[in-house]
Each structure stands twice: as structure tokens, then as C-alpha cells.
Chain A
Amino acid sequence: MKGKKKDYILLKIATILIIFIFIFIAQRSFDAYIIRILNLCGIYVILGVSLNLINGFTGQFSLGHAGFMAIGAYVSALLYTSPEIKEVNYFITPLIWPLNIIQIPFIFSLIMAGLVSAGVGFLVGAPCLRLKGDYLAIVTFGFSEIIRVLFCNLQSITNGPLGLKGLPSYTNLWWTWGIAIFTVWFIKNLINSSYGRALKSIREDEIAAEAMGVKLFYHKVLSFIVGAFFAGIAGALLGSLVMTIDPNTFSFFMTFQIIIIVVVGGLGSITGTVIVGALFAILMEVLRSVESPMSLFGLNIPGIPGMRMLLFSILLMIVVLFFHQGLMGTKEWSWEWLYKKLMGNKKEIEEGS
């Protein structure tokens, strides 16, 4: 109880300030390639944490995250892109009115992306969440495939498989890291609240939770909607980062990546998800070297695309075999822990001098 009284305001302000300064410097002086990786770190953190809310904390195994990202990416792209670029893109089938003349600021398009995605999350979640376990996984997987196929065929809205190209690049570190921090803060507060306890009780034992008066349907849909909201925003950020989207960007492969992040980080640990989410983005780039042609012990190996994912699969298997709970399990990093570390070091320094 003593720990709860302290809220380490100074430490929080200092941390935020450090991040603030880091983003400021990074955005100005790092080269574009590094900035892009850092942006991806932020986006993967948002995706991982939001999926962890559904899969790890509520215990509802969903495979539909790519679908929500697709919705977010398309909704925002259609809203922030200028009418001229849209006209260039839709040269086969023109874009329907009023989308063809609309242009709104990036921030509002992000909010719209989140809201539409959350709305779809409700529509999908309401019937699906009556299912459990494997069945829920299959149905949500089906949902994300339906979204993909639908977007391939709704030519007058999504431009079909041609996708949208030349999107303006609004995404920068302020957006991705800012929203990532907000997401972590929001979901951490949610799971530590009374609602969070209810969500975790559903994961632990649905029958007992319901007998204690927890409304199963309401709480499952709640976690689904919140997860979908942030997935939608992450999709929107990704769209503006890579500046081109097509339905196949959001295939099952995308969901699989986020599942890796969540499972390796630990179902039920935000800290683990954040660490692994950031590492994943970095490793995806670093490991590009294994896909290029190389010579090993005199053997010439041609570049094999997809080798990275093989390595990730091996990593996933190692984690599943040796760390059943993921790297962090359900443990969380806390301000208290950081405080003790810092204070402990200070004491050592004082003693040393």
C-alpha cells in the first residue's frame, strides 16, 4: 500500500522530458533510415499492446488485428489525402462522392480511423465473442481475411488491389511515439482499474467471473473495441509512414507478426510487449542481411527472401519451449523499481566517494 501512495511525479516528468528531447534530436539529426525504424518501433508497440489487451489480459484469442489495421489505414488515407492525389490514384474506377473531395487534417483522420475501426470491432465482436478459444481465433482470422478480400473488390472506395500510392508522409516520431506512449498509458490504466480486474477475471475463470456479477459480454466487447481502436490508429500511422497501402499489406502475415510480439513478450505483460515490439522492428531491419546473398565457409548461398521470418519462427519456438510465459510472463516494470535502481546507484556512488 505504501508504494501506491508515492506516485513518483518527478521521475515521470524526467522520463517524459528525456523522451521528448530524444525525439526532438532524433527527428532533426538522425538519418531517414533510422527514423523509419524508430517509427516502426512505435507502431509495433501500439499494435502489440492493443492486441495484448484482447489476447493476454482478457484471454480472448483474436487473430483479427490486421483487419482492424486495414480499416484504420484506408479510412485515414481516404480522409487526409488531397483530392488531386486521389484523382491520380483512381484512374480505373473513380472514387465515390463525397470521399473524392474531402480532405481533413491528419489528426482528425487518425481519430476517425480509430473510431471506425472500433465501430467495426463492435460489429464483429458482438457475435464472435460468444465463441471461445480456437473457435474465436478461427472466426476473427476469417474476419481479417474478409476485410482484405472486400478491400480488393470495393474498387470505387479502396481502389481495389491497385492500392493507394503517393500518400502524404505525415507520420513522424512525434506521432508514433506520442501515440505509443498514450496507448501504453491508456491500456495500463485500464487494466489496473476495476474494469481491468473484471477483464482479468474473465481470463482466469469465465464461470466464476460471471457468478461474481461480471457482465461477460460487455467486458469482452469492451476489450475488443479498445484493441480495435488502437489497431486502427496504428494502421493509419503505418499507411502514412510507408506512403503506399494495398489490401495485401494487411494479410495474415501482419497479424502473425503482432502475435509473435505478444507471445514472446508475455501474454499479460505490457512491459514485455513494449520491449519485444521495439526489438522486433529493429531485428526486422538488422536481419535483412541474412536474406542477401552471402558466402559461408566457401559456400555461396543465394539470397533467400523470407529467411528473416524463419529466424523469427525459430525464436518463437525457443520462447515457447523455454519461457512458457514469454520473456516477461505477467511481470511489469514499475516506477517504484526504477526509483529503487536510481536511488540504489546513488547510494553506491556516495559510498564510493
Chain B
Amino acid sequence: MSILKVDHITIRFGGLTAVSDFYLDLKEGELVGLIGPNGAGKTTVFNMLTGVYKPTSGKIYFNNQEINIKKVSEITALGMARTFQNVRLFTNLSVLDNVMVGCHLRLKSSVLNAVFYLPKYVQEESEITEEAMQLLKEVNLEKLEGNLAGGLPYGQQRKLEIARALATRPRLLLLDEPAAGMNPQETKDLMSFILKIQEKFKLTIILIEHDMKVIMGICKRILVLDYGKTIAEGNPIEIQHNPEVIKAYLGVEAHYA
């Protein structure tokens, strides 16, 4: 079943076409890699999917619902969550609070319920705390629940960001360079971690990554962007031997007279 259908979206910033004619039909449970040289428009695609940018033309369907006109928070509520290329945690909030913010969209109690600590809210709050602690266990941060998120080392910040995204109970998770700045061992752990959460939370994942080991290791399908255009699509082997991709990454051999 198709969970996300991106129907030829194009976005222009003034005279610059950042992404043109992007097409993607994503089936439930897939793990798709999105790669391309710097400035190819990968993050712009994420920003359009999550509603930060509105495409100039084309339509996006998520769960068979058109989401072009929806707000970012509404799209998140429909079940799409993301992480950011440069980690965007709530640095002055505790690790636990960061994850609990992700649970807030499911809160049913009204403001007054919450302020007067009525039983309905107390119940919900303890459920949220419980759920957030579970997610922290998932990323091995449960012992650091009280620390400020800004004080964590970089690798753990990335994991916390994933936990926070999971707290919104997404069906589709967009990961923007999760392995950036990690050493080879951490990267290896991250790969198994991504596969683990995909299995456990029944996620569909789109992954932007520069580390080819990650992409080739866990993605069954890969899309290659260059200057906003999709230049190749296929499985890892096909992509590695695609002349267009080699050209985009390595350039063309010079011909000497």
C-alpha cells in the first residue's frame, strides 16, 4: 500500500529552481535513501514533505490525503516526523522534556484540566511520562533523563532527536543525515538502530545521508538528486554502476586533444 505519493513537485525560489519534477511513490515499510551532492535539494524535499515549504507546483499525498495546504503541525499529527540536518533540540529543556514535547500533540485534556491537575490530566501526564521513558530506553538515554539536552554529546543529541520524533508516533520518519559527525563504530550502531526501530515501530523511512556505507548497507531503494533533478533511481548495485551518478559525484573524465 502506498503511504506517500509525491506527484511531480517543483519549487522555485525566485529564479532558482531548487527541486524540479520530484516524483516518489513510497510503499509502507520501505526504507528509501535520498542521496546527491551538496546543494542537490535533498533537504528541500524534506522541507516540502513536512510542509515547511509549499511546492510551486505538484501535489503531495500522505495516507491518500493531500497535504500541500496543511500546516507543519497538522502534517506531524497525520503521522510524519522528521529529524534535522543540524540538530534542533530544545537545548534548555531536560532530555525527558524534549521527548515529552513530542507527545504533546496527543494530549486531550484542556488547559484548565492541566493547570488544576484534574485526574484526567494526571492520568494522561503519567502515561506520557511512561511512554517518553520507554523511548529514552530505546536510545539508551534513560539515565540522562534529567540532564539538559544541550549538554549531551553530539552523538547522543542525534539519538535524542530520533526519540523525540518517535514520540509523535509517526508512520513515516524522515531522517536528515543521522550519521553526520559520527565515527565508524557509532555509524555502525546507528545502522542497526535504524533497522531496529523500523521493525519495532513499523516505520516507513526516508533517509538522507552522505555516508555511502549507511545508504548502501540498509536501503533497498535509492534516489539520486543532482541540481534538483532526480538523475537515478534503483537498488544499491544499480546506483553504484549508473554513469549519471558517477558523473554527478566524480565529474567527467577530461578529454585531452
A positions within 8 Å CB-CB of B = 186, 189-190, 193-195, 197-198, 200-201, 204-205, 207-216, 222, 330
A189–B116 CB distance below 8 A: yes
Pick the contact of B105: A186, A204, A205, A213 (CB < 8 A): A213
For the complex, what is the distance from the CA of A211 to the CA of B73, rounded to whole Å? 6
Pick the contact of B101: A189, A198, A207, A215 (CB < 8 A): A198
For the complex, what is the distance from the CA of A198 to the CA of B115, rounded to whole Å? 14
Listed A/B pairs (13) with beta-carbon separation below 8 Å:
A189-B115, A190-B111, A190-B114, A194-B121, A195-B104, A200-B90, A200-B97, A207-B88, A209-B101, A211-B50, A212-B81, A212-B164, A213-B73
The interface centre, meaning the residue of B84, B93, B104 with most chain A CB atoms within 10 A of its CB, is B104
Q: How far is the CB of A51 from chain B (nearest CB, A)?
A: 18
Given contacts A197-B100, A197-B104, A212-B164, contact A204 B91 (CB under 8 A): yes
Given contacts A190-B115, A194-B107, A330-B92, contact A212 B101 (CB under 8 A): yes
Given contacts A198-B101, A198-B104, A213-B104, contact A193 B125 (CB under 8 A): yes
Query: B84: which A residues are within 8 A, CB to CB?
Result: 208, 211
Majority SS at the chain A contact face: helix
- Contacts A204-B93, A215-B105 aside, 18 further interface pairs with beta carbons under 8 A come to A189-B117, A193-B125, A194-B109, A194-B121, A194-B125, A197-B101, A197-B104, A200-B90, A207-B52, A210-B71, A210-B76, A211-B73, A211-B76, A211-B84, A212-B101, A213-B73, A214-B73, A222-B111
Pick the contact of A212: B71, B91, B104, B111 (CB < 8 A): B104
A214–B105 CB distance below 8 A: yes
Residue of A nearest to B98 (CB): A201
Residue of B nearest to A216 (CB): B73
Residue of A nearest to B97 (CB): A197
Residue of B nearest to A208 (CB): B88
Q: How far is the CB of B239 from chain A (nearest CB, A)?
A: 29
Residue of A nearest to B114 (CB): A193
Query: B91: which A residues are within 8 A, CB to CB?
Result: 204-205
Residue of B nearest to A268 (CB): B92
Query: A190: which B residues are within 8 A, CB to CB?
Result: 111, 114-115
Query: A207: which B residues are within 8 A, CB to CB?
Result: 52, 88
A189–B97 CB distance below 8 A: no
Given contacts A197-B97, A205-B90, contact A189 B114 (CB under 8 A): yes
For the complex, what is the distance from the CA of A216 to the CA of B51, rounded to whole Å? 14
Query: A210: which B residues are within 8 A, CB to CB?
Result: 71-73, 76
For the complex, what is the distance from the CA of A208 to the CA of B121, rounded to whole Å? 25
The interface centre, meaning the residue of A193, A197, A209, A213 with most chain B CB atoms within 10 A of its CB, is A213
Query: A198: which B residues are within 8 A, CB to CB?
Result: 101, 104
For the complex, what is the distance from the CA of A200 to the CA of B93, rounded to whole Å? 8
For the complex, what is the distance from the CA of A200 to the CA of B52, rounded to whole Å? 21
Residue of B nearest to A222 (CB): B111
For the complex, what is the distance from the CA of A2 to the CA of B132, rounded to whole Å? 17
Q: Is B77 an interface residue (CB 8 A)?
A: yes
Residue of B nearest to A225 (CB): B111
Q: Is B139 an interface residue (CB 8 A)?
A: no
Q: Is B102 an interface residue (CB 8 A)?
A: yes
Query: A200: which B residues are within 8 A, CB to CB?
Result: 90, 92-93, 97
| Chain B 134-174 interface mask (CB, 8 Å, partner A; 1/0) | 00000000000000000000000000000011011000000
B105–A193 CB distance below 8 A: no
A204–B115 CB distance below 8 A: no
Q: Is B42 an interface residue (CB 8 A)?
A: no
A194–B73 CB distance below 8 A: no
Q: Is B128 an interface residue (CB 8 A)?
A: yes
A212–B102 CB distance below 8 A: yes
B107–A209 CB distance below 8 A: no
B76–A212 CB distance below 8 A: yes
Query: B71: which A residues are within 8 A, CB to CB?
Result: 210, 215
Q: Is B89 an interface residue (CB 8 A)?
A: yes
Query: A208: which B residues are within 8 A, CB to CB?
Result: 84, 88-90
For the complex, what is the distance from the CA of A194 to the CA of B53, rounded to whole Å? 28
B72–A186 CB distance below 8 A: no
Query: B92: which A residues are within 8 A, CB to CB?
Result: 200, 204, 330
Given contacts A194-B125, A204-B90, contact A211 B82 (CB under 8 A): yes
For the complex, what is the distance from the CA of A207 to the CA of B43, rounded to whole Å? 14
B115–A193 CB distance below 8 A: yes
The interface centre, meaning the residue of B92, B100, B167, B168 with most chain A CB atoms within 10 A of its CB, is B92
A215–B73 CB distance below 8 A: yes
Query: B89: which A residues are within 8 A, CB to CB?
Result: 204-205, 208
For the complex, what is the distance from the CA of A205 to the CA of B92, rounded to whole Å? 10
A186–B73 CB distance below 8 A: no
Query: A186: which B residues are within 8 A, CB to CB?
Result: 115
Query: A195: which B residues are within 8 A, CB to CB?
Result: 104, 107, 111, 114
Residue of B nearest to A187 (CB): B115
Query: B50: which A residues are within 8 A, CB to CB?
Result: 211
Query: B116: which A residues are within 8 A, CB to CB?
Result: 189
B105–A212 CB distance below 8 A: yes
For the complex, what is the distance from the CA of A190 to the CA of B189, rounded to whole Å? 39
The interface centre, meaning the residue of B71, B114, B128 with most chain A CB atoms within 10 A of its CB, is B114
List of 5 A-B pairs having minimum Cβ-Cβ separation, nearest first:
A213-B105, A204-B90, A213-B76, A193-B114, A208-B88
Query: B77: which A residues are within 8 A, CB to CB?
Result: 213
A194–B93 CB distance below 8 A: no
Query: A216: which B residues are within 8 A, CB to CB?
Result: 73
Residue of B nearest to A207 (CB): B88
